[in-house]
Amino acid sequence: MSKQFTQRKSSDRHAGNDTAAAGLEVRESAVGWPDYELLDAGDGKKLERWGEVVTIRPEIQAHFKPGWSWSDWQAGADWEFEELSSTQGTWKRLQPQASEHWQISYQQLRFGLKLTKFKHVGLFPEQQANWRFIAEQVKPGDKVLNLFAYTGAASLVARANGAEVVHVDSVKQMLDWANDNQTRSGLSDIKWVLEDALKFARRELKRGNRYDGIIMDPPAWGLGAKGEKWKLENQLADLIETARGLMNPGAFLILNTYSPKVELADLANAAGPYFAKNQIEIKQLWMQSKTGKALFYGNLLRAMA
């Protein structure tokens, strides 16, 4: 018998810091842990603590007033990311002894973090909501495919719970970073694949390979290996169709979307041909700061075969 979800209404549209529709619970909240806190957010920025390092980063969804003053932010932060363009920028050192490379833990896992010119530091903490879900679903011996897998947090959670994991990313530096995190965490035997995620998934489908869990965290937009343009809204249906073909009976699918052009209804419409309504869960992903500010992190599809 396939696992099933309680169906959520999927026509709600996110509207900044407001609930999508009164009376409908479509939110799921990630929560911090001892080595990570969303301290505050507002005025287009967020203040975060990663272990002993505190950063200020741009955040388009923080279109409200912060809980603390700007002077308090700067006094407590080690680094502030200053945008030079929509895709790149530089880090401004606010404390003389601020570390540029450091490590944090999540449960038994260890992650190496560092400053990058893309404002990221090597971990998406809002994905803690999905790490919880993966830990609940995965059984020893399950086969899990992680596409667009970045530095490997979801792969490590699945591996730590006994799964055989195939980790796919098109950027070698990300694979190396993820492999280092595997070593830091005392794990081994994740299969690393340097390839375009969707192309690899299509080939797996042709090879007849199947999985007990599929995780997809695709970018909203970008360029492929040959310069081809990638827009998530154009690839959404293809991603879901391909993933569905790779799923064993009872398998789970996680699909994160950060694109402002992918609404809850779009996820429902794209998943509808491949899953029954009671096999689909569609939510908004949020996290609340220490000061009580709720920050939106995109829409989320989970499905069970």
pLDDT-based confidence at residue 7 (cuts at 50, 70, 90): very low
| DSSP 8-state symbol, 84 | S
CA angle, residues 186, 215, 296, in degrees to nearest 5: 100
Strand 36-42: give its sheet, edge to edge: 36-42, 45-50, 53-58, 79-83, 89-93
pLDDT at site 225: 53
Residue 224 has pLDDT above 90, yes or no: no
pLDDT in tens, 48-81: 999 999 999 999 999 999 999 999 999 999 999 9
pLDDT at site 227: 63
pLDDT at site 226: 61
Range of the domain at 227: 27-32+123-304
pLDDT at site 72: 97
Residue 86, domain member (yes or no): no
In sequence order, the 6+-apart residues with CB closer than 8 A to the CB of 224 are: 170, 196, 230
Residue 173, domain member (yes or no): yes
pLDDT at site 101: 96
The CATH number that applies at residue 271 is: 3.40.50.150
Largest CA distance in the chain: 59
% of the chain surpassing 70 pLDDT = 89
Containing 112, the helix (H) or strand (E) segment is: strand 109-114
pLDDT at site 233: 80
The rounded distance, in Å, linking the Cα atoms of 162 and 143 is 9
CA count, 13 A, side-chain hemisphere, 34: 8
Cβ–Cβ under 8 Å, residues 121 and 79:
no
Containing 234, the helix (H) or strand (E) segment is: helix 232-245
Matching residue, tokens 């908004």: 284
Residue 181, domain member (yes or no): yes
Residue 189 has pLDDT above 80, yes or no: yes
The rounded distance, in Å, linking the Cα atoms of 89 and 174 is 19
Mean pLDDT of the chain: 90
Residue 18 has pLDDT above 90, yes or no: no
Residue 71, domain member (yes or no): no
The rounded distance, in Å, linking the Cα atoms of 196 and 152 is 16
The rounded distance, in Å, linking the Cα atoms of 296 and 14 is 8
Cβ–Cβ under 8 Å, residues 228 and 263:
no
The rounded distance, in Å, linking the Cα atoms of 138 and 142 is 6
Residue 140, domain member (yes or no): yes
Number of structural domains, the chain?
A: 1
**Length of the chain as a residue count:** 305
Tell me which of 23 and 146 has the higher pLDDT: 146
pLDDT in tens, 198-221: 999 999 999 999 999 999 998 877
pLDDT in tens, 228-285: 666 788 889 999 999 999 999 999 999 999 878 889 999 999 999 999 999 999 999 9
pLDDT at site 222: 67
Residue 61, domain member (yes or no): no
Q: Is the CA virtual torsion 235, 236, 242, 243 positive or negative? A: positive
pLDDT at site 25: 55
pLDDT in tens, 123-153: 999 999 999 999 999 999 999 999 999 999 9
